[in-house]
Structure formats: C-alpha cells, structure tokens
Amino acid sequence: ITDMQVFKNLCSRVNEIRKWFYNHNIALPHLNLGGGLGVDYENPENINFPDFDKFFNIFNSHLDKIAGQQIHFELGRSLVAQAGVLISKVLYIKNGINTNFAIIDAGMTELIRPALYQAYHKIMPLENKNTENNIERYDIVGPICESSDTFAKSILLPKLNRDDLLVIFTAGAYGEVMASRYNLRDLPKAYYADEFS
C-alpha cells in the first residue's frame, strides 16, 4: 500500500469498531494495526523507504486515542524487504518452443513467496551482460520436485548459461526466516554487508 489515504480510511473504520466495543463494555488493552506499507518489488534498484513520518502522523491525527490502550504496528517488511537479495546459480538450461527454462539451485525452500502466492521478485543476472541483441524468454524455476517451484514465468533476460549467477531482488523479508529443509535441503547461507553495489 503506497496510498496514505488507505490508512486514513483504516483509522475511521478502527474508530467505529472500537466505539462498538466500548459501547458494549469490552475493553481492548491492545490494538494491532498491522503493517501494509508498500514495497516496490518492480524497481528494487530505487530503494525508496516509506515515509514513516507521514504514516505515523496519519494515525496520530485520525485515530482516536484511548487512555491506557497500546497501539502496535507490524512494519517489518517495509523495513527489510529491500535489504536482502537471493543469489542463485543456473544449474542448467532446458530449451523449449515458446520459452526456455533456467533451472537454478535456489527453490521454494529458500524463497517461498513466488510459489506460495505468485509474488513478483525482479530477477537479473549478477554480471551485467551487454547483450542487447541476445535476449531470450525464460521461466526461472527451482530444483524442488514441485510444479509450483517457480520464481518467474516468461521473463526476458540476456542469454543465460550454466553457472551464471542470478539475483532475485527484494528477498530481505520472508526469505531467510521462512526457509525450510523440505526435501532434505540445507538452509540457505546468509551473508551480511554494510554496503552493496
């Protein structure tokens, strides 16, 4: 969600709901307003952090205050999604009629979002391949024996070869923390850096 008007509307609705509980003598010591601040998965190179001042000012201005009630927010994704990438190696290429398949060594066990609910993550070769005339269509798939182990379908990339490294962007949220050992796979290795370019 990038339209701050949505949060103004949320405040109005929450005020109505809290009033109903108050009128029925039901105390709500805690109120969890969730997260919802948007992340730009389409353009991860433009790291634009949400305007937290504007976000909190909306709640401060439009949410009725109740003495003693604690307000909670879940803003983790908006803080860390852009802070992580998944780097994966092309195991092999399977050429098809309408698309090629790049089978990579990462799968839904390392980043489940695309398999679980078809979430988009931008994918690019790690090395800048200057091959404007050599663009091909790929399905990027993992090695897990599940038909849903797919990162992207029918995307255009420079011609890929075995052992090429791919970057799957915006994997800082719901990547490492949701990784699994399904099919006896090892958990992914995590590396941390102060700078990335």
Q: What is the pLDDT of residues 12-64, one digit of tens each?
A: 999 999 999 999 999 999 999 988 888 888 988 887 778 889 999 999 999 99
Helix extents (H) in the chain: 5-23, 52-62, 76-80, 113-117
CA distance 140 to 123: 9
Match 């990027």 to its residue by tokens: 140
CA distance 39 to 50: 8
| β-sheet bridge partners, residue 30 | 70
Q: What is the pLDDT of residues 60-81, one digit of tens each?
A: 999 998 888 999 999 988 888 9
Q: Which CATH number fits domain 84-184: 1.10.10.60, 2.40.37.10, 3.40.800.20, 3.40.50.620?
A: 2.40.37.10
CATH 2.40.37.10 location in the chain: 84-184
First to last CA, the chain: 27
